[in-house]
Amino acid sequence: MNSKRISRRNVLRAAAAWAASSAAMSDAQTQTVKTVQTPVLDIAYEESGQGFPVILLHGFPDDARAWDEVAPPLAKAGYRVLVPYIRGYGPTRFREASAPRMAEQAAIGQDVIDFADALKLPRFAVSGYDWGGRAAAIAAALHPDRVRAVVLCSGYTIQNTTAPSPPASPEAERAAWYQWYFNTERGRAGLEKNRRALCKFLWQTWSPNWHFTDETYNRTAASFDNPDFVEVVIHSYRHRIGNAPGEPRFLEMEKRLAERPKIQAPSILLYGGDDGIARPPAEATPAERALFPSLVAHRVISGAGHFLPRERPEAVSAALLEVLKAGQ
């Protein structure tokens, strides 16, 4: 038996174990975890409904549970809802032991396209927040022929990784403390040792009005035990400011992303009014409208923080249903 087959079997066992660990969830939250093979990853995902596909992408630090209350209205409305665990989270695994555990923006954006290719999806809609929002934006910007509609939480977050970024305001630099922490070896060690406590603290500070339970947090925190979680997170936050190299195969893609490509698909932008990372503008700016030629709406959700799919799932699902109609 070859090593790839052994790796595949291990991934399937991990997915089965993950599904078994979710047996105590409510019926609305229980999902069967499936896996699909891409060139780099065995991506674990959850699926519900039938019809036109909608891919929902979680962020850092989170997992597929973020979409538990967003998916049912979409499935009920006749859509096929696909919720992958992004690289470094939950039962998703790198196929090869020698593969670099990297998570630059181009990689997570390409993962979306690879996921759609593996499932033979010629077109799809996409939504995401945090890392998932960036991945969704990249897929939509670089593959307008594939993406029918977009809902982004926190707007256009594609970065220029080819040049040093200018200093932000003191308030913004303070809010990004965890990124600077991860750019030190102390930060790497801290994430390794205290990953659950650290990530819980981020939940609390990024969404100060969201009073989640320990049960809710612990259900997702198991995803941070992925053996690649620390390396993936550290690489992401170091690469974006030039403190870690990217994969050579993504050099040209990063150059394209540095040019801030427009997202042509009908789009709705959602923002948490009390997001602990950054407060959003009340209305769409001229720059935002230029990046989204088919902008349907810019909405600020009062009282919500960074984790919009968890805090205001009805607003996210309603936005998706609206923009899907616009994209017909």
CATH number of the domain residue 149 falls in? 3.40.50.1820
Look at residue 11 and tell me whether its pLDDT is greater than 80. Answer: no
Structural domains in the chain (count)? 1
Report, as an integer, the average pLDDT of 259-286. 96
Confidence of residue 8 (pLDDT cuts 50, 70, 90): low
Provide the pLDDT for residue 327.
73
Q: Count of CB atoms within 10 A of residue 139's CB?
A: 28
Query: Which segments of 99-169 does DSSP mark as H helices, in order?
Result: 105-118, 131-142
**Minimal CA–CA distance to 292: which of 270, 266, 257?**
266
* Proportion of the chain above pLDDT 90, given as a percent: 88
Indicate yes or no: pTM above 0.85: yes
Report, as an integer, the average pLDDT of 98-115. 97
Look at residue 157 and tell me whether its pLDDT is greater than 90. Answer: yes
Average pLDDT, the chain: 92
Local structure of residue 127 (DSSP, 8 states): E
Q: Are strands 79-84 and 93-94 parallel, antiparallel or unpaired?
A: unpaired
Confidence of residue 130 (pLDDT cuts 50, 70, 90): very high
Type of residue at 315: A
Residues 230-268 pLDDT 10s: 999 999 999 999 999 999 999 999 999 999 999 999 999
Provide the pLDDT for residue 31.
66
Provide the pLDDT for residue 15.
52
194 alpha carbon, distance to own chain's centre: 22
Look at residue 143 and tell me whether its pLDDT is greater than 60. Answer: yes
Report, as an integer, the average pLDDT of 147-165. 96
Q: Indicate the SS3 state at residue 65.
A: helix
Residues 7, 31: contact at Cβ < 8 Å?
no
Q: Are strands 147-153 and 267-272 parallel, antiparallel or unpaired?
A: parallel
Confidence of residue 30 (pLDDT cuts 50, 70, 90): low
* Proportion of the chain above pLDDT 70, given as a percent: 91
Provide the pLDDT for residue 6.
38
Backbone angles phi, psi at 20, to 5 degrees: -65, -35
Domain extent, residue 52, equals: 3-326
Those residues whose C-beta lies under 8 Å from the C-beta of residue 162, and which sit 6 or more positions away, are 254, 255, 258
Give the pair of three-digit tokens for residue 271. 């923002």
- Taking the C-alpha atoms of residue 59 and residue 315, their distance in angstroms, rounded to an integer, is 18
Would the CA dihedral through 175, 101, 137, 286 be positive or negative?
positive
Q: What is the CA radius of gyration of the chain?
A: 18
Look at residue 209 and tell me whether its pLDDT is greater than 80. Answer: yes
Report, as an integer, the average pLDDT of 38-48. 98
Report, as an integer, the average pLDDT of 38-57. 98
Provide the pLDDT for residue 29.
45
Would the CA dihedral through 283, 289, 292, 295 be positive or negative?
positive
Q: At what angle do helices 229-239 and 185-206 cross, to 10 degrees?
A: 90
